[in-house]
Amino acid sequence: MSARFSMVGLLLLLVFFTACTVAGVFSSTPAARNDQLALQAIVDFLDALHAGDYEKAASLYGGTYKTMIDQNPAISPNDPIALLRNACTINGAQCLQAKNIVLDEKRSDSEFVYRVEFEKEDGSLFVQGPCCGTTDTEERSNFLFGVSRNAEGKFVVMDMLPYVP
């Protein structure tokens, strides 16, 4: 009876894995893997900033630090961890929890754009008022973030969080 149970269990397991492979659950195509890696990079980056893990966030950020350097002349331009910390805690970057992350555009297998909504601490949707590059009457609740593969082959986020003065 034990051997029969094992054969039935093995057969069911084989059917399950075959069905999952056909359905794409265990997709091994490079394009599908790139999609997953890019999404994971932005999720990890936003989660790290929200949690105050600036070291992890710095390892996932490939964009410019120019504004952060300009806002923090006392911090070394070669200290991305301190620059990100100040961006979130002093300079007005909204390091909020991501509420919704949706692929907006796939430019190539190594370049993606995501549309992100954030939630405030009370759970309500973050809305950036008329400032910061918008016209006097515009409000925004979703923000675009590029994610690209860097020279080392790792996906990194190319844009910083919304800013509120």
Task: Look up the CATH number of the domain holding residue 96.
Answer: 3.10.450
Question: Could you read off the pLDDT of 45-88 as tens digits, one per residue?
Answer: 999 999 999 999 999 999 999 999 999 999 999 999 999 999 99
Q: How far apart (Å, rounded) are the C-alpha atoms in residues 82 and 56?
A: 12
- Determine, yes or no, domain membership for 146: yes
Query: Please, are residues 75 and 83 in contact by the beta-carbon 8 Å criterion?
Result: yes
Q: Would you say residue 20 has pLDDT above 60?
A: no
Q: Residue 110 is part of which domain span?
A: 30-157
Of 4 and 91, more confident? 91
- The pLDDT mean for the chain works out to 85
The rounded distance, in Å, linking the Cα atoms of 46 and 93 is 12
Q: How many domains does the chain have?
A: 1
Do the domain assignments include residue 96?
A: yes
If one compares 134 and 147, the residue with the highest pLDDT of the two is: 147
Sequence-distant (≥ 6) Cβ neighbours of residue 112 within 8 angstroms: 35, 38, 39, 103, 105, 106, 146, 147, 148
Give domain status of residue 141, yes or no.
Answer: yes
User: Is 163 a domain residue?
Assistant: no
pLDDT tens, 79-126?
Answer: 999 999 999 999 999 999 999 999 999 999 999 999 999 999 999 999
